[in-house]
Chain A
Amino acid sequence: EVQVVQSGAEVKKPGESLKISCTTSGYTFTNYWIAWVRQVSGKGLEWMGIIWPYDSDTRYSPSFQGQVTISADKSINTAYLQWSSLKASDTATYYCARADFYYYYLDVWGKGTTVTVSS
């Protein structure tokens, strides 16, 4: 069974750094892209970026370029999303999802990691 398991909820202060994870199982990690999607409470889905774990080729949404870093460790089938300096506006739920190689749809989603940034 294909599974995508995300790390737990985080509460941070503005200016702090954070790295959240997305661990997969049940398929060959290096054969699919992994995407990150943000959802601010009451708002819609926003695509942040995508990584090809085989060689860590990464593409970012222009809205998130320079604001976050996406990485992957293929030795442990895990992708990451990190911030160097959080802002209150980063408060949201972050989803990772597996992306189909040919059609790029997001077919298996993690349950989401809620990040709260507050002083």
Chain B
Amino acid sequence: EIVLTQSPGTLSLSPGERATLSCRASQSISSSYLAWYQRKSGQAPRLLIYAASSRATGIPDRFSGSGSGTDFTLTITRLEPADIAVYYCQQYGSSLYTFGQGTKLEIK
């Protein structure tokens, strides 16, 4: 089973700054099956990025994804207070899904 490890566990930044969230897989995965989600407190998760770098419908271009193989990154530019959330990466392979443990984004 592929394990996804996200870092850092918590990220505390100021409005306007850039956030860089990492997701590392225990073995190489297909970029086609790597997605990122945002989960705000009390809400259902929301798809941000699929296929490693494609933005989902309605997601602003401040959110971008990159990476391949075992290392993937979610970048959020020009941080806003509304970006406070826990961000999860997810992969699909061999009929199984795996989520990372999440990165909590705090805005100072």
Contact = CB atoms under 8 A, between A and B. Distances in A.
Given A50-B97, A103-B32, A105-B35, A45 B45 contact: yes
Contact of A112 (B44, B56, B99, B101): B44
B45 A106 contact: yes
Nearest to A106: B47
Contacts of A37: 45, 99
Given A100-B50, A103-B51, A109 B44 contact: yes
Given A44-B102, A95-B44, A100-B50, A106 B90 contact: yes
A59 to B, nearest CB: 5
Interface string B15-49: 00000000000000000110101010001111100
A45 B47 contact: no
B72 interface: no
Interface residues of B, number: 26
Among B32, B47, B88, the one with the most A-chain Cβ atoms within 10 Å of its Cβ is B47
A104 B88 contact: no
Contacts of B102: 44-45
B88 A105 contact: no
A114 to B, nearest CB: 11
B32 A46 contact: no
A62 B1 contact: yes
